[in-house]
Amino acid sequence: MRRKLLVLTLLILWSAGLLLISALAQDEAAAPPVEGTEEIAIEETVVEESVVDEPAEVAPVEEAATEFSIEEEAPAAVEEDPVVINKVALDTVWVLLAGILVMFMQAGFAILEAGFCRAKNAVNLLMKNMLDFCFAAIMYWAVGFAIMFGAGNLLFGTSGFFLSDPTGMTFASLDWTSVPLEAKYFFQLVFCATAATIVAGAVAERAKFTAYIAYSIVITAVIYPVIGHWIWGGGWLGSLGMLDFAGSTVVHSTGGWLSLTAAIVLGPRLGKYNSDGDAKAIPGHSIPLAALGGFILWFGWFGFNAGSTMEANALDIAHIVTTTNLSAAAGGIAAMFTSWWMFGKPDASMTINGALAGLVAITAPCAFVSAGSAVWIGLIAGVLVVLAVIFIDKVLKVDDPVGAIAVHGVNGAWGTLAVGLFASEGGLLFGGGWKLLGIQALGVVSVFAFAISAGFLLFYTIKSLIGMRVSKEEELRGLDIDEHGMEAYHGFQIFTTE
């Protein structure tokens, strides 16, 4: 009891200090400008004008006019604006580098999930994350990108398959960014692969590899692109005004709700629940691997959120990186304190997932909220993820080995609603009324309903055709041996009845 009171006291003091610092920061931001600023600007203007007015080196107008006749065409360099050319190049480099950061998140997911699961299944998890990206690259190029961004209707796109329009005019919903079509495709591809790979953790240690390939293909080719079209591709939710800057709902809730349906269809791992229905902990084999995966995901998330500007806008990028980082840090702290209060110890796995929950939650509002609001969004996400893991595990009795449903599904929904609450323009807490919050809530519910329906249809179809789950003997030996014929740690594999 004393330990719980100590934790509660620390949390209250920390929150009070945070509020005090936030208030001081707002007072400082409201301070009047430093005197003399206008005078300095005027003086600089005078200096610039004096330089321009130097008479000695300026050629007479008559001589300059004789350089070209009226009928001569100006050189090609005069027709092109180098400022415009350089901006397109800079935007393209930024978008591609950000996309590469997001692609690196696949490595983060792979080792996070491998660490949270048992050693006998590590190779299987690494393979699933590797193949997610491989199949996503092909399917999203052939079909998914067109469904998501091609011209069509309010539900899905119907043009531009195989990137067949090199001018990009078919993809009018992306006309606000200047980068080439293939750069748009690559950046959106890495988001698509992320949505698919979220499912890998929820079905860990008992799903057939062939089944996983099948639903990875369908998710990246159809399910994710349809949801993306609704919000980002000119679909009906985007037309209503729903805001999801980098994908709390489009990417994370989609992956989280599909994870929920997959875990329900598969059923729990052997030994997860005893005869009384009580949940039994099945510890992962490497918390260091899981922590490294968490850090890699945090690192890649700066490309995920800030790259979604799809242009090299310095002020926007700096703000988004700041809100992203603050929410992640607050989520980790809140999850640590919550687990400390509930379990008597600051739990490492909950803390890692807390930081990820903060990242998921800030993904939708990162460009629309202040730094202070980002901290509150992360704090709530850190508490939610711990409560959601317990609820899913002990009440719903759905076996999710890595907490994918709680991190991505629950906090994807929270982050989307947070836009309606905390947005500097239109947010309920900043005088914007209920309209934006209502639109955000409609988006959350609609995507949940579609993803759950599509997920159950997909997974039950696969279960009836090729089967979803390995045999009891294969599960006991571990999927590495039976599915891939190798071990993650040679000589370490042990036959277990758990």
- Residue 316: is its pLDDT beyond 70? yes
- Walk me through the domains of the chain, giving residue ranges and CATH numbers: 86-484 (1.10.3430.10)
Spatial distance between the Cα atoms of 302 and 288, rounded to a whole number of angstroms: 22
pLDDT at residue 490 in the model: 84
Once rounded to an integer, what is the mean pLDDT over residues 56-73? 40
Long-range contacts, 310-313 (Cβ 8 Å, 24+)? 310/91, 310/95, 310/176, 310/177, 310/179, 310/184, 310/187, 311/87, 311/91, 311/94, 311/95, 311/177, 311/178, 311/179, 312/87, 312/90, 312/91, 312/93, 312/94
Instruction: For residue 72, name the pLDDT band (cuts at 50, 70, 90).
Output: very low
- pLDDT per position as a tens digit, 430-485: 999 999 999 999 999 999 999 999 999 999 999 999 999 999 999 999 999 999 99
pLDDT at residue 3 in the model: 60
- Residue 360: is its pLDDT beyond 80? yes
Choice among 11-25, 89-103, 223-237, 373-387 with the minimum mean pLDDT? 11-25
Choice among 71-75, 181-185, 221-225 with the minimum mean pLDDT? 71-75
pTM over 0.95: no
pLDDT at residue 5 in the model: 52
Average pLDDT of every residue of the chain = 87
Instruction: For residue 74, name the pLDDT band (cuts at 50, 70, 90).
Output: very low
- pLDDT per position as a tens digit, 99-154: 999 999 999 999 999 999 999 999 999 999 999 999 999 999 999 999 999 999 99
- Residue 493: is its pLDDT beyond 60? no
Instruction: For residue 50, name the pLDDT band (cuts at 50, 70, 90).
Output: very low
- Residue 280: is its pLDDT beyond 50? yes
Instruction: For residue 80, name the pLDDT band (cuts at 50, 70, 90).
Output: low
pLDDT at residue 45 in the model: 38
More confident residue, 91 or 22: 91
Once rounded to an integer, what is the mean pLDDT over residues 66-74? 40
Choice among 109-118, 171-180, 318-327, 361-370 with the minimum mean pLDDT? 171-180
- Residue 73: is its pLDDT beyond 70? no
Is residue 334 within 8 A of residue 383, CB to CB? The reply is: yes
- Residue 273: is its pLDDT beyond 90? yes
Once rounded to an integer, what is the mean pLDDT over residues 379-402? 97
- pLDDT per position as a tens digit, 228-237: 999 999 999 9
- Residue 332: is its pLDDT beyond 90? yes
